Structure 1
Amino acid sequence: MTTAGGAERETHGGATNGSPACAEAEPRAALAAPPTPRRRPQEQWSAQQPWLAQLPPERLVAATLRGLEPEGWTSVHDVHWPGRPLANIDHLVVGSGGVVVVHTESWAGDLSVTEGELRVGEHVRTGQVARAAQAAAAVTALLAPRHRTAVRAVLCLGDRSDPAVPVAGATVVGRAALPGYLRSLPPRLTPAEVSGLAQYLGVRLGGTQPPEMLTTAALLPPSRAARRRAVRAGTDVRPAPTVTHPEADQRPGSRVRSALLRLLVVATTVGAGAAAFAVPVPGF
């Protein structure tokens, strides 16, 4: 409204600014507003960057692993599973801590481990963890014996931050805690070994065809390896027939008697022939 001096003053709820009625109205409005819910760090991150929540977990884990490249880790993604043409390995990362085979999942629910069994919410997930361990075993078979103990299996929860927990021959860890887990691994490989193994595995697992999974049968002679594979398949494999001497199964004493008998027969035949030639023939 306009005062007598001509200056305009704003009104608020029937009272002018600066009046006690206006001063009381503002705190009341603030108290009446609903409180803003607090968000967890990962929820705040998704709220600030909504496009991250729309990415598949595999792409999120791949981006996390690529962020470790300045620290000496080299990663490849979506490569062949040795010996399984229809399966793949989500991620393979090589660094000073070893060769880490990473399988990615996206699960909701509370995570708990009881007597070696992993539960997420109401579901048992131990089988998926064992799958990650099997993939690591297939990669291990491709390496030289001195590097096989450096292979580790990880099941990464792509949209979680759970700390690392060992289960069924592998380690279950949330994506947010994955870099810390890799940094905590004791040094196992030299920089030269890291470079060589990363290049070797990238070529072997990134080709057009998956490599065969090597087993201990590759160290056996061909005949024994074929018999072992046939036994596993449930077929009957008979050894190849061998030709042996008729006297191979005779005892040493029997062999001596047989030799003497042959000599006696030969001597008798020669003596009879000599005697026949010694008899004079009439007319000569």
Structure 2
Amino acid sequence: MTSFSDFPSLRFGIVADPQYAARAPHLGMNRHYAKSLAKLAEAIEVFNREDLSFVITLGDIIDRDFESFDDILPVYGSLRHDNFFLLGNHDFSVAADRLVDVAKRVGLTSPCYSFVRHGWRFIGLNGNEVSTFAPPEGHPYRDIAARRLAELRAGDAINAQEWNAMPSDEQFAWLSGQIEDAGATGERVIVMNHYPVYPPNEHDSWDRERIITLLTAHDNVAAYLSGHNHAGNFGTLDGCHFLNFKGMVDTETENTFAIVEIWADRMEVRGFGREDSRMLKLRR
């Protein structure tokens, strides 16, 4: 007799960093921007054959130019599952007068949000909120970003990079409240952001320490999913898994994407192409 525990409670698809643009490849970085349209279409074909709750792209939908959205967003039109986006640093490599239009262009009423599926709360962060590139010119967050970057550089921090960023204090308080609310209702939590925070890497969010402290302090937080570091990364701290998925834009022909399955006692990552497969125990 088959029991309910013999099946995952939910499955979802992951895409990281398609970074599409109609431009020549950067061979030195092995990035093939125009190839991402076909790679994404291939991933969606796989997703459409699966019983998934949703698919999420972890940022850097485009490499540059607002017009690039016109080419890649229609590819998602064939997806038969709910579709979610996070925004990455490259999504704001657009003309200054289009910065305020980026979130709306990909269908986001808010660049940070949460939703619940089968007792799991998924929290999507706006990792670009405090940055030198995403806020409109003259916005106070640009000044805060410049100061934070200077502090990190003074301390020789490896993530003291202009292409990193962080959520605002207000968004961090919102994240904390979301986790507390989820705990009160018996929900487990997965947090998603474009920027990784662990293991330490030059691509990490500027506030990596406070995010790590928050997530590891709550037993109901199972995982933190990110992109941005195209090489990928993985680590576990105090039972919380930190998964950095590999960038789709890298390599001329080999794809990378994943399907994540949530079971009662574990989370399984089924990697395609360059993405690694993993079996991760849940801490409660």
Q: Normalization by structure 1: what TM-score?
A: 0.27
Rg larger in 1 or in 2? 1
Q: Normalization by structure 2: what TM-score?
A: 0.27
Higher helix share goes to which structure?
1
